[in-house]
Amino acid sequence: MAEYADLEIIVGTYEEILLAYRVTVVGEEWQMEESFTDHSHLGSIRNVAVSKRRGFLASGGTDETVWLYSLKSRRLIGSLTQHTGSVTYLQFHQGSHLFSCSEDGTLCLWKTFTWECLRTFKGHKGGINCVAVHPSGKLALSVSKDKTLRAWNLLKGRRAYVTNLYRVADLVIWSPTGDNYILVFGNKIEVYLTENAALTRIIEASGRVNAVLFVTDSLIAFAGESSEIEFYDIVKDASQHKITFSSTRTRGLCFKKLPSGKEILISACSDGFIRIWNVSLTTDGITTKCLLQHNSTFRLTCLDAFVNVPKQPSATRELKTKNEEQQSEEETLSPLPVKSKEHLSKRARHEEGVEITKKKKKKKI
The answer to whether 301 touches 270, Cβ cutoff 8 Å, is yes
Would you state the pLDDT for residue 20? 96
Would you state the pLDDT for residue 200? 96
Number of domains the chain is built from = 1
pLDDT band at 341; cut points 50, 70, 90 = very low
Over residues 55-89, the pLDDT tens digits come to 999 999 999 999 999 998 888 999 999 999 999 99
Over 60: is that where the pLDDT of 359 sits? Answer: no
Over 70: is that where the pLDDT of 50 sits? Answer: yes
The domain spanning residue 194 has which CATH number? 2.130.10.10
Residue 89 CA to residue 172 CA, distance in Å, equals 11
Would you state the pLDDT for residue 325? 41
Widest pairwise Cα distance in the chain: 67
The secondary structure of residue 41, as a DSSP letter, is: -
Would you state the pLDDT for residue 312? 58
- Whether residue 353 is contained in a domain is answered as no
Residue 134 CA to residue 178 CA, distance in Å, equals 6
Residue 121 CA to residue 152 CA, distance in Å, equals 8
- Whether residue 346 is contained in a domain is answered as no
> Which stretch of 14-18, 63-67, 182-186, 348-352 has the lowest confidence by average pLDDT?
348-352
**pTM, rounded to two decimals:** 0.86
- Report the percent of the chain where pLDDT is more than 90: 77
- Whether residue 363 is contained in a domain is answered as no
Over residues 165-191, the pLDDT tens digits come to 999 999 999 999 999 999 999 999 999
Would you state the pLDDT for residue 346? 53
For residues 94-98, give the mean pLDDT: 91
Over 70: is that where the pLDDT of 347 sits? Answer: no
- Whether residue 10 is contained in a domain is answered as yes
- Whether residue 333 is contained in a domain is answered as yes
pLDDT band at 1; cut points 50, 70, 90 = low
- Whether residue 324 is contained in a domain is answered as yes
Closest CA to 253 of 299, 204, 294, 305: 305
Residue 149 CA to residue 168 CA, distance in Å, equals 9
Over residues 189-226, the pLDDT tens digits come to 999 999 999 999 999 999 999 999 999 999 999 999 99
CB-based burial label for 339 (10 Å; 0-12, 13-18, 19+):
middle
What average pLDDT does the structure give for the chain? 87
Task: Give the domain range for residue 145.
Answer: 3-340
Would you state the pLDDT for residue 309? 77
For residues 313-333, give the mean pLDDT: 42
Would you state the pLDDT for residue 152? 97
- Whether residue 360 is contained in a domain is answered as no
pLDDT band at 314; cut points 50, 70, 90 = low
Residue 126 CA to residue 144 CA, distance in Å, equals 6
Over 60: is that where the pLDDT of 22 sits? Answer: yes
Over residues 255-301, the pLDDT tens digits come to 999 998 999 999 999 999 999 999 999 988 999 999 999 999 999 99
- Whether residue 331 is contained in a domain is answered as yes
For residues 91-116, give the mean pLDDT: 95
> Which stretch of 201-210, 297-306, 310-319 has the lowest confidence by average pLDDT?
310-319
pLDDT band at 327; cut points 50, 70, 90 = very low
Q: How far is CA 120 from CA 91, 117, 176, 306, in A?
A: 15, 7, 26, 28
